[in-house]
Structure formats: structure tokens, C-alpha cells
Structure 1
């Protein structure tokens, strides 16, 4: 093999490695994602951290900082409530019965792929139609393959599509009346902060039912 051929092979291998590396960079296994959530004419921002099968979703509601932590399969789910002005820190940890009940109310989707495409923010997306087989209601769903991240608590319903949901509808507790339109705005590869998924000793523990009843008492 002459020198020119060797150079060509070397350049070819280098180019292949560069392309492969670029593709690999689009797969993020640990990091942070930001969402804009619209419901009832109002918009809120939420942040999720993810690593493996575990994720968190945090947002602000009035003076309260709320964070949900759960595993993709539902083995663990907790809601953290932090109200600094009231010196209140509580965590509701789902019992097996509570988790089973919540999963029973989750939507069951059948998907239809369309030929429509559009760019949403920085993401090139393809459109799917998600049909809830429980009641026949349908929702538009936009998926990107520009970046791949693990499914989290609000995107796990779409994991079979092999991409990352960018614009989709999330049904709170499977309730159509609580439908939230969610838009992915940014994804960053970063380390999950320490204790992000843990129940630390400074939180008072209770069940999900207890926290729900506490909220009803304040209405």
C-alpha cells in the first residue's frame, strides 16, 4: 500500500470517527431538561433531572416549591413540598397501593406516524397522533431524534417511539380536564445534583393521600 492510500484510509477512519462521535454526543444519559407547561391559560416552567430510570420534575406554584421524583417503571414515586416562608418541608412517598391506583388511571396510547415535520425551537420534529384507547381522544405529538434522553415521568408514555418528545400533551392523573401542553425548550448534559432523588432527613414523611387531603383542607 503506498503513502497516498495509507493517507486516504487514515482520513476515512478519522472522518468516520468524527461522524460517530457527533452522533454519540446526541445521546444524553444524565442531565437536565427544561419544559414550558401550559394549562388553563397559564404557563409555568419546569425542570427535570434524569439519570438512568430515575428522574425528577420541579416547578414553582405560588410560594411552594414542588418536586416529583420517580422511576420509569413506577417502583418509586414521591412528591416533595418545600414552602420556605412557612418553614415547611414535607415529602409524600407513594405506597404500593397508591402507585398501583395512579398507574391504573394512566392513559394507554396507540400511535400513528404522519409525514408532517417542523422545527420547534432548536429541534427538528416529526408529527405523530396519539390516541388514548380508553376514551378515543387524540393528541398531536411531536418527536425529535436530534437528541435522545431517557424517558421521564411525563414522557414515559411515548418511549416506544424511539425519540424525544418535544411538544406533547400530559394528562394529570390521566384526567382529560387536567390536560397540560408541554414543550421541551432545552436539554443539557450535566451531573445530577447530590441528593436530587433522595428523601433527606429534613423532610417530614407522609403518604400521597395525606398530602392530597392537606391540600383539600387549604382550599
Structure 2
């Protein structure tokens, strides 16, 4: 009997250790893949075909990278999660364009000034599994009367600010949530979180890229540039 009890205690310790280790899993380099569902206004509907249904965010420490293919262009978006600054790289081989746009915190604030401000995050105690992660439901609201819910987990920890400053009051990694980006409402759901080698990420402008402002890029798209 003592032997079986000892075995049971050891098993319990091993299991609890495994759970504790999983709960404390911290990933500093890797990727997160999201599926994205949009709620577009009538004015936003023409851009529906250009919005991705899935996106992959690579990260190394506080810097993240998203790469988007749009027609002949490859657009790489780098963002420093700590300073809320960024870099946009635009490659259009057929036009021999290689442009870089530096983005400051003020640029981000201006772009999202009209978006609803999120607040009043409250844990509900409701739990469920999302993928392989234990998740808890939160409710929250915005300053325009909207109400929302999200699901977060403590099974894995991503770099601070990964999901955006508006969710800084949520304890845990967001697995499903709704946000506004430049006026577009989107619900993101984690499809996969992978710890993998990404390599160095930086906000330095690569050699060969011409630095332009966002206004100059918009002019080029309208045919008003070189």
C-alpha cells in the first residue's frame, strides 16, 4: 500500500510539474498565425478582396514582422512592440521599386485616432479549450457603446505588448479577440503558436531602399509619383 501511495505521489508531482512548466512557457522567438474575420461598413466593402483571411506574425523579442503579397508588391511591416514604432518595406520588382517608410508612435496614434478605445476588461471565470490551450473568457467595451468578449490563456507567454497596447490590462496571451485597425473591425483567432527560429529583426532601413513618407507612397499609388 505504501509503495502504491508513493508511486501515486510521484505521478502527481510529475503531472503537476508538467502542467506548471506548460503554464510558464515563455516564447521570445517564433510565430503566431491568426485567422481573421471582418465586419466591414458599406464604405469599407470595396476593400474586402484585399483583406487577408489569415496572417502570420513572426517575432524575435520585441520586434514583429508581417509579410503581405499584394499583386506584384511584397509589403513587409516591422513593429517594435516596446516603443510602438515601425518600418514599412515595399518591394515591387517589375517597377524596380524598393521603398521604406519609417513609422513613429505619433504616426500610429494618428492612424488609429478615430478607432474606438477599449476598456473595462473583466475576467468572467468561464473556461474552455481553444486549440491545445486553456482559455478564460473576458468581457470589455469601447468608448462608443460597443461590447465585446475575448479569450486569453496563461499556458503560453508572448513578448509584452504583442497583441497591442489596448489589451495591456488583460493578464494572459490573447487567443481570440476583436480590435479596430485604422477603422476596420476584425476578429482574430489564433490558429497556431510556434516557437521557431526567425532570425534577427530590425527597424533599420536595408541597403538599397529609398526612404519615403506615407504621403509620397500614396501619391505613387495614385500615379502622381515617378
What is the TM-score with the length of structure 2 in the denominator? 0.73
1:112 counterpart residue number: 122
Q: Which runs of 5+ in 1 are unaligned?
A: none
SS at match of 1:201: coil
Structure 1 contact 44–59 (Cα < 8 Å) conserved:
no
The offset of 1:179, in angstroms, is 0.9
Corresponding residue for residue 126 of structure 1: 136
Instruction: Tell me, yes or no, if the aligned pair for 1:143 and 1:167 is still in contact at 8 Å.
Output: yes
CA RMSD in angstroms, aligned pairs only: 3.3
In structure 2, distance between residues paired with 1:17 and 1:154: 28
**Any idea what SS the aligned residue of 2:26 has?**
coil
Structure 1 range deviating more: 28-37 or 152-161: 152-161
Residues 56 and 197, structure 1, Cα contact 8 Å, conserved in 2: no
Residues 217 and 86 (structure 1 numbering): CA distance in 2 closer, same or farther, change over 3 Å?
closer
**Structure 2 stretches of 5 or more lacking a match?**
41-47
Displacement after TM superposition at 1:93 (Å): 0.8
Residues 62 and 50 (structure 1), Cα distance of their counterparts in 2 relative to 1, 3 Å cut: same
Counterpart CA distance in 1 for 2:136 and 2:222 is: 41
Q: Classify the secondary structure of the residue corresponding to 2:156.
A: coil
The CA distance in 2 between the partners of 1:23 and 1:117, in whole Å, is 15
Q: 173, 194, 214: which one pairs with 1:188?
A: 194
Q: Does the CA contact (< 8 Å) of 1:143 and 1:164 recur in 2?
A: yes
Match of 2:205 among 199, 206, 211: 199
Task: Report the counterpart of residue 216 of structure 2 in structure 1.
Answer: 210
Name the CA distance, whole Å, in 1 between partners of 2:76 and 2:163.
Answer: 13
Q: 93-102 or 122-131: which moved more?
A: 93-102
Distance 1:105 1:73 in 2: 23
Structure 1 residues 187 and 97, CA, compared in 2 at 3 Å: closer, same or farther? Answer: closer
Q: Which residue of 1 aligns with 2:28?
A: 29
Cα drift, residue 28 of structure 1 = 0.9
What corresponds to 2:43 in structure 1?
Answer: none
CA contact (8 A) 1:37 1:181 kept: yes
Residues 83-114 of structure 1: per-residue CA shift (max 9 Å, x gap)? 34433322211256534423644542111322
Deviation digits for residues 170-201 of structure 1 (CA, Å, limit 9, x no counterpart):
3122x1xx112211111111233234654211
Matching of residue 136 in structure 1 with residue 145 in structure 2: yes
Residue 162 (structure 2) pairs with residue 163 (structure 1): no
Q: In the alignment, which residue of structure 2 is the partner of 1:83?
A: 92
Q: Give me the TM-score of the superposition, normalised by structure 1.
A: 0.75
Tell me which protein shows more helix as a share of its residues: 1
